[in-house]
Structure formats: structure tokens, C-alpha cells
Amino acid sequence: MRQPYNVTVLVYRFAAGRPEFAVFRRSDDGHWQGVGGGVEDGEDLVTAARRECSEETGLPGTAPLRRLDMVGGVEKACFAAARHWPADVYIVPKHFFAMDVTGAGEIVLSAEHREVRWLAYEAAHAILRYDDDRTALWELDQRLRRGHLPEPL
């Protein structure tokens, strides 16, 4: 059973000394986003973020993972599991993480996504569908520019 929490991981790497951000096109609706999904029973947020990233990218979930300050929310009604959650849950928190996959290999997409693009910040920001994804990407970009990343988890 899934818990009423979501995680999104912004995948990035350094190429020629500059960050590139991976954006993923969903197979179902064609929207561009980071990787992510639900937190299963028995998982904490970090475990779920590593699992989701590994499942959706084919990369090892052991790369440096950092929790971002950004937290968004998704309406409870968007989830099939919602009928099992308490009646007083209306918004499912969406916690953001960043994973540096520099040198980790090539991405192998799961069936959830049909395309991945490595983009500079401006292009990645422009293509993302959801406002909270764009805000989290802005936070990550600012932290990278300022050399102020949170400690790896």
C-alpha cells in the first residue's frame, strides 16, 4: 500500500564543468517532469526517492542524493490509493530531491517515460509542466551556482 506522500528527484550531471538537467517526458500524458512517485508502506522519503530514481532511469540509486527545501502538493483525488487514506487528507505532499549522476552511466527509461533530454537550466525550466517542478529546479540551479548544496543523504 502506498502512503499519502510523493517524491520527485531532479537528476543532474556535470558536462564540460556545467550542470545539465534531465527532464523526462511521460508516456501517458506527454508532460515533462523529474522522476518520482509514491512512498510505499515501510519506506521513508529518502528510500522512496532512491527507488523511484533507479526504477525510472536504470541508474544505481546510490548516487549522491540531496533533499531540497521545496515541497509541493498534489490533490488527493489524483491517486487511486486515496480511497485507503484518512478522510482528512486533502493534499499529498510532494518532497523534492536532487541526484548527481555524473559518471553514473546512461539513462535507460522505464515504461513510465518515453523520452529524456539533458538540458541547460533555462531550457529545462521552460519545458517542465508543473510549477512546483520549476521552482525546485530553480532552487537546485541556485544552490549549484552558489556552491551551497545540502549534504548528501
List pLDDT tens digits, range 11-31: 999 999 899 999 999 999 999
Model confidence at 1: pLDDT above 90: no
| Residues spanned by the domain of 101 | 2-146
In a domain, 8, yes or no: yes
In a domain, 153, yes or no: no
In the prediction, which pLDDT does 3 show?
92
List pLDDT tens digits, range 54-112: 999 999 888 999 999 999 999 999 888 889 999 999 999 999 999 999 989 899 999 99
In a domain, 151, yes or no: no
* φ, ψ dihedrals at 71, nearest 5°: -135, 125
**Number of domains observed in the structure of the chain:** 1
In a domain, 152, yes or no: no
Average pLDDT on 128-151 reads 96
Judge whether 150 and 10 are in contact, CB under 8 Å: no
Which CATH number characterizes residue 34's domain? 3.90.79.10
